[in-house]
C-alpha cells in the first residue's frame, strides 16, 4: 500500500504507538477522573520512555502486544463491572490477538485471571459461562500458532522455553545487566517513579489499581527473578514497566514536586528517547 521502503515497513508500528497513547489517555482518565492533568501527563510519559520509542520505530511484535495489553486492561474492567457476555467475548478476542502478537501476552491473560480470583465479584463471575467463552475465543484465535508448532515438533515453544536459555551465564553480571537495562529502558529517574507508582499512585479506584498491579508486578517479578539465570533482553519487561509508568504520574503528582523536578525527570527520559531515534535513523 505504502511502497517498498523502511518507512512503509515501520508505519504500522508508528500508528500503533499513537493508538497506544490514546488508550493510555482513556485508562488514566479512569484512574484519576477528577484530574485530567494526570491523564495528559501519563500519555506524555508513555511517549517519552525509550522502550516505547524502540517499539514505535522497529518492526517487532512488541508494539501490537502493548496495544492489545492496554485494550485487555480496559475491557477487563468493563467486563468486571457490567458482566455482559459481549464484554467477555471481546475480552477473549483481544486476548487472542495479544497472543498472536507475542507469547508474553499470556502473562496479561493470567493477570486478569489472578485479578478476578482476588475479588469476591470476580470469583462469582468465574463460576458463570461468560469468562470461559471468552477464553475459548482467545484459544480459537491462537489455533494457527498451535497448528504450526504441532507440525514442526513445537519448535517455537521449545526455543522460547529452553533453546535460548541453554548458554552458561555469570549470575552477578546478568543481574547487573538486568538492573542497568531497566534503568535505560525507562530512564533512571522515571524508574524510581515507577516503583513509587506501584506502591502509592495517589487516590484512584481501588479495583482498577489492583488490576494494573496484576498487569505489572508479576511480569517484573518473573523476569527479575529469572534474569540472573539466563540471557535476558531489556524489552521483555516492557509491558510491566509501561503499566507502572502510567501509575508513576500519580505518585509524582502526589509528591507536589517543583517544576525543575518534572523537567529533570521528563528531560532525562526525552534525551534517552532521542538517542534511540537517532540510532534508528
Q: What is the dihedral of CA 133, 95, 233, 170, to 10 degrees?
A: -10
C-alpha cell at 200: 502509592
- DSSP helix/strand/coil, 256: coil
The per-residue pLDDT for 32 is 92
Alpha helices in 118-237 (DSSP H): 120-125, 130-150, 155-161, 171-186, 188-199, 206-226
- Euclidean distance between CA atoms 88 and 78, whole angstroms: 9
Answer for the pair 245, 45: CB distance below 8 angstroms, yes or no: yes
Answer for the pair 205, 31: CB distance below 8 angstroms, yes or no: yes
The per-residue pLDDT for 133 is 97
Residue 118's pLDDT band, with cuts at 50, 70 and 90, is very high
The per-residue pLDDT for 165 is 66
Nearest CA to 137 among 95, 92, 106, 73? 92
The per-residue pLDDT for 164 is 66
For 178-220, how does the pLDDT look when each residue is reduced to its tens digit (9 = 90+)? 888 888 888 888 888 899 999 988 888 999 999 999 999 999 9
Residue 166's pLDDT band, with cuts at 50, 70 and 90, is low
Report DSSP state, residue 228.
Answer: G
Decide if pLDDT at 257 tops 90: no
The 10 Å Cβ neighbour count of residue 171 is 10
C-alpha cell at 197: 507508582
Residue 79's pLDDT band, with cuts at 50, 70 and 90, is very high
**Portion of the chain with pLDDT greater than 70, in percent:** 96
C-alpha cell at 112: 486478569
The mean predicted confidence, pLDDT, of the chain is 89
> What is the model's pTM?
0.91
The per-residue pLDDT for 76 is 97
For 4-27, how does the pLDDT look when each residue is reduced to its tens digit (9 = 90+)? 888 888 888 889 999 999 999 999
The per-residue pLDDT for 100 is 95
- Euclidean distance between CA atoms 40 and 134, whole angstroms: 32
- Euclidean distance between CA atoms 199 and 264, whole angstroms: 22
Amino acid at each position: 500500500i505504502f511502497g517498498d521502503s523502511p518507512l512503509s515497513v515501520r508505519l504500522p508500528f508508528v500508528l500503533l504507538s499513537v493508538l497506544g497513547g490514546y488508550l493510555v489517555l482513556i485508562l488514566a482518565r479512569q484512574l484519576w477522573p477528577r484530574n485530567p492533568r494526570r491523564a495528559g501527563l501519563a500519555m506524555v510519559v508513555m511517549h517519552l520512555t525509550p522502550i516505547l520509542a524502540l517499539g514505535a520505530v522497529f518492526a517487532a511484535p512488541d508494539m501490537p502486544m502493548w496495544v492489545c495489553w492496554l485494550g485487555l486492561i480496559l475491557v477487563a474492567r468493563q467486563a468486571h463491572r457490567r458482566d455482559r457476555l459481549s464484554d467477555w467475548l471481546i475480552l477473549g478476542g483481544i486476548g487472542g490477538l495479544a497472543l498472536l502478537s507475542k507469547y508474553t501476552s499470556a502473562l496479561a491473560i493470567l493477570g486478569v485471571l489472578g485479578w478476578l480470583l482476588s475479588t469476591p465479584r470476580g470469583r462469582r463471575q468465574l463460576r458463570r459461562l461468560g469468562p470461559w467463552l471468552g477464553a475459548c475465543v482467545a484459544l480459537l484465535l491462537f489455533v494457527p500458532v498451535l497448528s504450526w508448532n504441532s507440525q514442526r515438533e513445537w519448535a517455537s515453544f521449545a526455543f522460547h522455553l529452553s533453546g535460548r536459555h541453554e548458554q552458561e551465564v555469570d549470575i552477578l553480571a546478568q543481574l547487573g545487566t538486568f538492573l542497568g537495562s531497566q534503568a535505560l529502558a525507562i530512564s533512571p529517574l522515571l524508574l524510581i517513579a515507577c516503583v513509587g507508582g506501584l506502591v502509592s499512585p495517589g487516590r484512584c479506584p481501588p479495583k482498577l489499581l489492583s488490576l494494573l498491579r496484576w498487569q505489572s508486578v508479576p511480569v517484573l517479578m518473573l523476569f527479575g527473578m529469572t534474569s540472573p539465570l539466563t540471557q535476558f533482553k531489556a524489552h521483555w519487561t516492557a509491558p510491566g514497566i509501561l503499566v507502572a509508568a502510567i501509575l508513576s504520574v500519580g505518585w509524582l503528582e502526589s509528591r507536589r514536586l517543583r517544576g525543575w523536578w518534572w523537567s529533570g525527570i521528563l528531560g532525562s527520559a526525552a534525551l534517552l528517547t532521542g538517542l534511540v531515534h537517532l540510532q534508528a535513523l
